[in-house]
Amino acid sequence: MIGRFGAILTGDRQADRVVPPTGYTANLTAFTAAAMAFLSVFALALSLATDRLATRWSEELAQTATVRISAPDGQLSRQAEAVMRILDTTPGIRSARMMTNEEQLKLLEPWFGPDLPLDTLPIPRLIEVVESGDGPDMAGLRLRLAAEAPGAVLDDHSRWRKPLISAASRLRALGVFSILLILGSTAAMITLAAQSALAANAQVITVVRLIGARDAYIVRAFVRRFTLRALFGALFGTVLAMLSIYFLPSAADEGAFLTGLGFQGWHWVLPVVVPVIAAVLAFWATRIAAFRVLRRMA
């Protein structure tokens, strides 16, 4: 298998000349491969990004919870203290921290702008809870909070985390599905191009058969062409897509929550397999199509 690919890449130029060059289908095949590679690199980036997102949401957020206390002015700090006391004595909680005014202001800033007069608004206090191990017994904790601080509401994020995670996994599945569709249509287009190239060269095939060429020889001449075209077309499309992704505006500061679409770390190596897959696909699509056409031409 590897040997066969090697022979294709090095194969002798003279053998290549037996089938006359067909500029038009050659360019179409290369263009198709380039476009498909471009699209699959984006689909790959999308899948990887949503994968990261889902992982983050399920792992990081699973370990946190929030307690929100809304109470009339006079009771707010008393209830907050009570909540902190309860949290400190509950097993399964690593730490609990009351958010400062500045932190709460920062959370609200995107919605209300920077100069929010926090003091004059009845804004609930927020306590950030970091869990340990399997986390606390949520139901028991709720009961204790209700008894001692009626204004406290425990939010373990599961309500909004679950749909987000399932949306992210759905998105990732869609990305993978798109890649499969792209592979399928690439194979289909290369099959069509190979078939038309063979039909266009019926006369050449007749002649080389008359002088003793086997099907395998004829197939090789076409396979080599289409594999190389697909390889270089896809290489071009991949590089183009990687450059576009690299120069995508970074979403790191404003929307760290959404994580950038770009590749991270070693994931930059993954798109390199796209041209290889394109070449393998072209190899088999052409080979199968060519043998079928030759069987029919006999």
Judged by beta carbon, residue 177 or residue 217, the one nearer other proteins is: 217
Question: Shortest CA distance to 168 belongs to which of 39, 47, 40?
Answer: 47
* Smallest gap from residue 13 Cβ to other proteins (A): 11
* Smallest gap from residue 233 Cβ to other proteins (A): 24
Judged by beta carbon, residue 204 or residue 277, the one nearer other proteins is: 204
Give CA separation, 280 vs 4, 186, 298, in Å. 11, 11, 27
Judged by beta carbon, residue 198 or residue 230, the one nearer other proteins is: 198
d(CA 139, CA 95): 19
* Smallest gap from residue 298 Cβ to other proteins (A): 6
* Smallest gap from residue 224 Cβ to other proteins (A): 14
- Interface contacts to other proteins, rule CB under 8 A: 14-15, 17-18, 20, 204, 206-215, 217, 294, 298
* Smallest gap from residue 34 Cβ to other proteins (A): 27
DSSP 258: G
Judged by beta carbon, residue 82 or residue 221, the one nearer other proteins is: 221
Question: Shortest CA distance to 145 belongs to which of 74, 66, 73?
Answer: 66
d(CA 220, CA 48): 37
Ranges assigned E (strand) in 132-237: 152-155
Give 168-190 as a DSSP string: HHHHHHHHHHHHHHHHHHHHHHH
For 190, list phi and psi in degrees, rounded to 5.
-65, -35
Residue 95 is inside which H or E element, if any?
strand 93-98
Judged by beta carbon, residue 139 or residue 298, the one nearer other proteins is: 298
* Smallest gap from residue 188 Cβ to other proteins (A): 27
Span between the terminal Cα atoms of the chain, in Å: 27
* Smallest gap from residue 14 Cβ to other proteins (A): 6
3-state helix, strand, coil in the chain (%, to 5): 70, 10, 20
